[in-house]
Amino acid sequence: MPETEPMDKAKLESLNIINALRRGTVPAGGLERIAVGLEVEEGVIAKQLDYVAQGGGDIKFIRGDYGSGKTFLVARALEIARQKGFVTTHVVISSQTPLYKLRAIYQQVCAGLRMQEEERALKTLIDNWLFAIEERIVAVSSPAPDEAALEGATEKEIETALAGISEMNTALAAALRTYYRANNAGDFQLAQAALGWIAGEPNIGRDFKAKASIKGDIDDSVALPFLRGLVTIMQGAGYKGLAIAIDEMETTQSLPKNQREKGYHTLVQLIDALDSGGMPRCFLLFTGTPALFDGSRGIRSVPPLYDRISIVQTDSFKNPRQPQIVLSRFDTRKLEQVALRVVDIYAQAYREVDRERISHRFIRAMIKKITTRFGGRVDVIPRIFLKEFVDVLDKCELYDTYNPWDAYEFDATHLQGELRKEEEAVMVVEF
């Protein structure tokens, strides 16, 4: 059986982008190739990441309605962070992961850790860190230490590396030490239990805690010190730091007052820790709708928080260096630009696109057809349009006789069950 021809990196990335657009999702990589109108915002975030890479800590809030591109900008910011040598993670605030439960957020941070080429990366990060410690010990030892001496020296180094963070981290050091010993002894079940406990997973058995001499689990009171411990491990493994996106913050508004305010005070705690140098090499990115920032159940209801992140906005010249990046709704011009970029990406993934059949004029006509069914709201259709547009590109590539001018009509019946509530709310029903 003949071997499959290996693809070059650019073609593989192009295929990944087109495949994601077919599914109506944000591509995992190559986002700079379809990003439009975000150059200033991306530049500001990139500068913040450069500062954090030097040992600082920083924060940014992204504010916008549905259709303004919050999800895309978050994905792009995390992509920039990975390109700069950061580990990234993406947390979605929900009833299972509310803002006031730091332990739940910590658990999601650990579950979503991602490096440039790898997802669910906690184990790899810890392994790389321990390997770097061993290499450093061997490099400065003469003669080279035997296995027992190397293990003992590495365990001391684990303690030393985490000593400066908090006395609470004695438990983290103990768990890491247990993980290291279990790996060396080939006890992979114990090693896996250690990883689970470090990641904040519930229901880790008493057997592990007894062997590690640990009592209890990670709770809200120690989640931040443990997070600082993880960032120390990342730095020791050769990474610049950790970039965390915390999405859909607006869900906090639906909580009872005590839980809601506790969540907002958690934000105050995080901002103050970053500003005081207590969370070095951490970049936090939050998203929310305008109601989150200005509504009666939003951030404005907690003056100490509102004071820290409110912005000066007196004219049309937006300043994304302020605590909030304010996004405008997507418009026709931006969607046309994205479509033209998708044509170029498609050409690299498959073959050159017939620019007579897929002309700029056809793209405008297609946008108008879809927008008409959604109350003229261009800002709610990008996902739907791009999914439809890739289908048209596929048909042009597969069939020389396919003419989109004659054949394409927007039929919304196939969207039943997959429309998001914001899309459904403005859709014009045909009788």
Query: Which residues lie closer than 8 Å to 104 by C-beta, 6 or more apart?
Result: 96, 97, 98
Residue 155 dihedral angles phi and psi, to the nearest 5°:
-65, -35
Token representation of residue 296: 């009666």
Query: Which residues lie closer than 8 Å to 225 by C-beta, 6 or more apart?
Result: 165, 166, 168, 169, 172
Q: Residue 3 pLDDT more than 70?
A: no
Residue 402 dihedral angles phi and psi, to the nearest 5°:
-75, 125
CB contact at 8 A, 313 and 290: no
Q: In angstroms, rounded to a whole number, what is the distance separating the alpha carbons of residues 380 and 269?
A: 35
**Can you give the residue ranges of every domain in the chain?**
35-120+240-326, 123-223, 332-426
Q: Which CATH number fits domain 35-120+240-326: 3.30.300.10, 3.90.1150.10, 3.40.50.300, 3.10.180.10?
A: 3.40.50.300
What band does 266 get if pLDDT is binned at 50, 70 and 90? very high
> What's the predicted TM-score (pTM) here?
0.87
Q: Residue 425 pLDDT more than 70?
A: yes
Q: Residue 168 pLDDT more than 60?
A: no
The reported pLDDT for the residue numbered 37 is: 86
3-state DSSP assignment of residue 326: strand
Query: Which residues lie closer than 8 Å to 5 by C-beta, 6 or more apart?
Result: none
CA dihedral 116, 120, 123, 125 (to 10 degrees): 30
3-state DSSP assignment of residue 347: helix
The reported pLDDT for the residue numbered 431 is: 42
Token representation of residue 203: 């229901």
What band does 159 get if pLDDT is binned at 50, 70 and 90? confident
Lowest mean pLDDT among 132-146, 195-209, 230-244, 281-295: 132-146
The reported pLDDT for the residue numbered 65 is: 87
Strands 57-63 and 282-288: parallel
The side-by-side arrangement of strands in the sheet containing 57-63 is 118-119, 114-115, 86-92, 241-247, 282-288, 57-63, 324-326
The tens digit of pLDDT for each residue in 10-47 reads 899 999 999 999 998 888 888 899 988 889 999 999 99
The count of C-alpha atoms lying within 13 angstroms of the C-alpha of 96, restricted to the half-sphere facing its C-beta, is 4
- The mean pLDDT of 153-170, rounded to a whole number, is 73
- The mean pLDDT of 74-88, rounded to a whole number, is 95
Q: How far apart are the first and last CA of the chain?
A: 55
